[in-house]
Structure 1
Amino acid sequence: MRKASRLFEIIQILRLSKKPMTAQAMADRLEVTVRSIYRDIAALQAMRVPIEGGRGIGYIMRPGFDLPPLMFSIEETEAIVLSLALLERTGDEELKQAARRVNQKIAGAVPAPLRQTMENKALYAWGTVAPPPASFDLGLARRAIRDEQKLVLDYRDELGRATERVIRPIALIYYSHYANLVGWCELRQAIRNFRSDRIAHCEAGDAFFRGDGNRLRADWMSGWANPPA
């Protein structure tokens, strides 16, 4: 996590907390060292963010500090709530946790009437909840798409035939029972779809395809129909 993002996260944690937060608790949530938290707290205090406390007793945010408000209408807020609820139906555990954090952040930033809209739980997304893939990390795939990094797959097709694939991942499609990874397959020399439940193993490769992702996605969307892997 970049420092700027981490500073924002610390502010949000302290704003939403009802009791002092120790540096260790924040370090565990942000997956960084306690020393990093101490440095970040000192940096925020130097920027006149009203954080009080110290080592061993925890930190609190003095009342009255607010980030700029999020200007959402009621309909926009409901759209966000429903979209986040739909993420609960995916098998992507990282995204589900992220959705819960987004809900907390928005609830802490919007005016009281809109906060009530978010908290009244009047909007639901029903349907099958996809299980997490047994041998495929969806978070790894999303990061590889963002970073334009190649992935190495052990893949089995619909007949159970095993192959090793090196692919350039460009998209993830979430269905109710599984996810599809879309990428340029170096074995087939074409864009292919890889079902998450048929991926026996996946790891990040050593090579990248930076600058080529948008072109591959444009090629993929121009067809919208790709043969099976």
Structure 2
Amino acid sequence: MSGIGSSVRIDHAVVSGTFSLDGETHRVDNNIWVVGDDTECVVIDAPHDVDAIMEVVGERQVRAILLTHAHDDHCRVAPALRERVVAPIMLHPDEKPLWELTHVQDGEGHLWDVDLADGFEVQVAGTTLRALHTPGHAPGAVCFHAPALGCVFTGDTLFHGGPGATGRSFSDRPTLEASIRASLWQLPDDTVVHTGHGDDTTIGAEKAALG
């Protein structure tokens, strides 16, 4: 875990499971990111195991479940987590085809609760997370920029070592690189990148590598 600021902090854990798409299944380790203070928080992505997520959340009230995209290793337990903590799932609507590979509509015809869009802001514990629509790895992929914390949560859009994977259904490499240049390269170079898998990096380090 890492603390930032006097009250708002970022808590982190890693959980293991599987990722399945296009008839292939792979073992993966996913990062769990929770942003908040001692009383409230938001959860970024819901991979594999609700109990593991709740170990990071603790007794805090979850204000929202923010999904960077709808690959199954990022959203598989989102509905179960929503039931546990009674908080809305937020996802970009362009992710509907991927979401429906893992989840069906509920009895009311709902898929998730709140549509994300570029510039959508979520407030928690006195700080703001701003959604940046960064399609390419997935059509509705979103990064969450927290300016006051000097970081951005990139899901699978940008990793330590470069852009996320493409070559699977609903992904496109030129679109991904264009998204990164248009949205993420506009952030300060010292912005810490908290990824969906693996180690942190910075915008400046990845900008130098990708060009």
What TM-score do you get using the length of structure 2 for normalisation?
0.25
Task: Specify the structure having the higher radius of gyration (Cα).
Answer: 1
- Decide which structure has greater strand share: 2
What TM-score do you get using the length of structure 1 for normalisation?
0.23
